[in-house]
């Protein structure tokens, strides 16, 4: 599977590039970063601590999308929305780990999902998604219990509340039959 990694110079992006570089089933077909990034033009493998993979970091997604089977995206919301539209046009998979979308972004994401497979989650961890299911069930079982979500992050955390906190909040609200 040929994958594009968005935010390839970031912490998650470098981790994904490294995992793809070590995989026999996956290949890195593109590495995207924002316009003006100091990583532009550098080899994505080198940035990830691997030998060069022959994939230069770019800020132009269009030539990459036509050659890819999927996109792994941990970029800010605005580029993610634009990439969802491109994924829909190319009919490729778009995995979105981006958080902090404005409520009005749901419409364009749903429109893109009619033509491409979109997977979007506030947290990609199996354990956290299991916790969300359990939180929903607990909220149903204990409707009168007050719930508070408290979170702590490293100093580099970009969005607050985090996607994880929102995922858990949505699960609890769904369990209670209310809107978050």
Active site residues: 153, 157
DSSP 104: G
The pairing of beta strand 57-58 with beta strand 27-32: parallel
Q: Which residue has the tokens 């007050």?
A: 146
The pairing of beta strand 2-6 with beta strand 93-96: unpaired
DSSP 30: E
How are strands ordered across the β-sheet holding 93-96? 57-58, 27-32, 2-6, 70-73, 93-96, 118-120
CA distance 135 to 142: 10
CA distance 150 to 147: 10
Total residues found in the chain within this entry: 180
């Amino acid at each position: 599977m040929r994958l594009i990694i968005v935010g390839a110079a970031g912490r998650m992006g470098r981790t994904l590039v490294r995992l793809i570089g070590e995989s026999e089933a996956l290949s890195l077909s593109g590495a995207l970063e924002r316009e003006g990034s100091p990583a532009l033009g550098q080899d994505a493998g080198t940035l990830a601590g691997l030998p060069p993979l022959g994939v230069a970091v770019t800020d132009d997604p269009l030539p990459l999308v036509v050659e890819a089977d999927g996109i792994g995206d941990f970029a800010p919301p605005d580029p993610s929305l634009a990439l969802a539209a491109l994924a829909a046009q190319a009919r490729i998979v778009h995995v979105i780990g981006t958080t902090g979308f404005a409520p009005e972004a749901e419409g364009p994401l749903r429109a893109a999902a009619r033509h491409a497979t979109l997977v979007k989650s506030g947290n990609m961890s199996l354990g956290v998604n299991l916790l969300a299911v359990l939180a929903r069930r607990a909220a149903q079982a204990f409707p009168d219990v007050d719930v508070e979500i408290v979170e702590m992050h490293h100093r580099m955390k970009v969005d607050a509340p985090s996607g994880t906190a929102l995922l858990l909040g949505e699960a609890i609200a769904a369990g209670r039959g209310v809107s978050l």
